[in-house]
Structure 1
């Protein structure tokens, strides 16, 4: 008995690819191009947070912070900030400074084997952990929308948590 029809089997790798972050390319470790805030010109706040449910205590986590829906979550060139965090346990803390108050969404993946990409199985589904702000969940083969992952950064600062899956 076949679980998927031949037509569905042809679609599965493509659909799974839509979920995979960041499309096989490594995320930039420096600040990405896009809207930037110049410290000292207007109000700014800090974003602090914790990543939990990391596996193995090795590798690094890659974070991409978006200020709008454009490019979220795959096109890190559209992110306002990116960050690479070394992992040494089941949790990791992060901090983004001098952010203009407003709405943001965060996409994260844990590169357990330090190869600079999110590894996938033969169907194209991630084999390494990933997550989004608000612990927004993927729907079928699609990542969550910016709206589902959106949170506010206030002038006084904001703290969030992301549980990787």
Structure 2
């Protein structure tokens, strides 16, 4: 009987320590207009191969409205771990990031880490550790060309 109680207590402690979760808030800056929506994808390690390529591999996705050229997104009950975020302003609400004929985005976009350069960032460039009850990230929108 004592062994069973010890086992149950150990399982409870293990479960509490391995299932820590928190809330992630993303503040989007640099939005140039109120047109459309902000489409957000939160990728974890398991879905990293699809980062910026296949939104279906995202851990969670959200679409939020823009108000006064501002937007914020809240993800709740996120398990602690390593993540990366990609987002874009879907100005014409066609559910995709519009691009030129050579693949350069014409709608504003951003990633966690606010990476620089013209090459599409990889998961490793945009990743961050999430291991707190409440975390706030700021992502600045970028645009290369306007339509």
Q: TM-score, normalised by structure 2?
A: 0.77
CA contact (8 A) 1:46 1:153 kept: no
Relative to total residues, which structure has the larger helix share, 1 or 2? Answer: 2
**CA distance in structure 2 between the aligned counterparts of 1:55 and 1:155, rounded to whole angstroms:** 31
User: RMSD in angstroms over aligned alpha carbons?
Assistant: 1.5
Equivalent residue number for residue 60 of structure 2: 81
Q: Runs of at least 4 residues of structure 1 off by over 4 A?
A: none
Equivalent residue number for residue 96 of structure 2: 117
Relative to total residues, which structure has the larger strand share, 1 or 2? Answer: 2
Tell me which of 36, 50, 55 is aligned to 1:59.
36
**CA distance in structure 2 between the aligned counterparts of 1:46 and 1:120, rounded to whole angstroms:** 32
> Tell me, which stretches of 5 or more residues in structure 2 are unaligned?
1-17, 143-147
Equivalent residue number for residue 123 of structure 2: 146
- Count of equivalent residues: 123
Q: TM-score, normalised by structure 1?
A: 0.69
CA contact (8 A) 1:152 1:158 kept: no
